[in-house]
Amino acid sequence: MKQNAKRILLLTLILSVICLPVSAAGTDGGIPADYAPERLICGGICCGIRLFSDGVIVTGFQDLSDSGKRVCPAKSAGLRVGDVILAADGVRLNSYSELRSALNSGGESVLLSLRRDGKTREITVKPVMTEGVMRIGAMMRDSTAGLGTVTFYDPETGLVAGLGHPICDRDSGEIFEISSGSLVDITVAGADRGKIGDPGELIGTNFGTDARASLYRNCESGIFGYVTDTAPFSGGALMDVATDEEPHKGPAEIISCTKGNNARSFAVEITAVRNLTDGDMRDFEIRITDKDLLSETGGIVQGMSGSPIIQDGRIIGAVTHVLVNDPTRGYGIFIGNMLKAAA
């Protein structure tokens, strides 16, 4: 099963803490700045995530043969891993195929507009002919995919949100800036159990092709979009939304899917409320206490990120991180921080 299953690893940085499965804001979602719904439908279902980049991301370099010499025009021109190429000769790019067409348009050089460290700049690169195709020696990406858990659905606005943290580019580690994206159906076949030094992961199969939601944002507080098919998201309970002052140390539960398509409740304990103000988004600490979940997954695993956390009958936030040295422990984000990021 493991060999045939689609393994989606949404891991970005491995430090003392791992951020569970994997942008700057896309187009405005139309949510007002003072968005503060009193009730939301609780999530917990696992979905496939497809993201398309805002431009073309440089992920690496390779040398090319030019008149018997090994050259890399992209690197020589000053391109770096993590650069996002936005336009070629003034024409906006939405995919790698469009950049390839621009390189083969017949000009001796191509003016690339790119974004680096939040700033826009221009670089001129001279492609070389290799095997009948003009190339610059850069490896690139224009999309990514993974799986993660839906946190909530708002039937009043159609908003859906999940993850509680960004999906990052696996090569540069930077937030994957999107032009568009979607949520699709996925079946959870099971999990690789988490253990010390290895957080484990949910294993997804049957990655769907029909969009159930259209995504407009991937940012520090999660992914956000609008539902295009309400059926997958309407089965959860309609719950009150907690303020950031209401979460407290003590028993709670998370809603998550560890097999199949059905979300279940698992017991956890809130061990600390941090009330951070530096944008860290690890707002409280959690510990898994549910024996069934510990038996199935060993604790928090990649793919469970976004699982809603319920305390005193209210949605207080979502699971976001797991501790590398203890998969039974992790962090959560306040639901308030997710709602602020939707606007």
CA 54 to chain centre: 14
DSSP codes joined into one string, 202-255: EEEES---SEEEEEEEEETTEEEEEES--GGGTTSPEEEEPPTTS--SEEEEEE
| Contact status, residue 43 vs residue 152, Cβ threshold 8 Å | yes
Residues marked active site are found at 165, 290, 305
CA distance 184 to 324: 29
The pair of structure tokens assigned to 145 is 């995919």
Cβ neighbours around 92 below 10 Å, total: 10
CA distance 175 to 160: 20
Cβ neighbours around 54 below 10 Å, total: 23
CA distance 149 to 275: 24
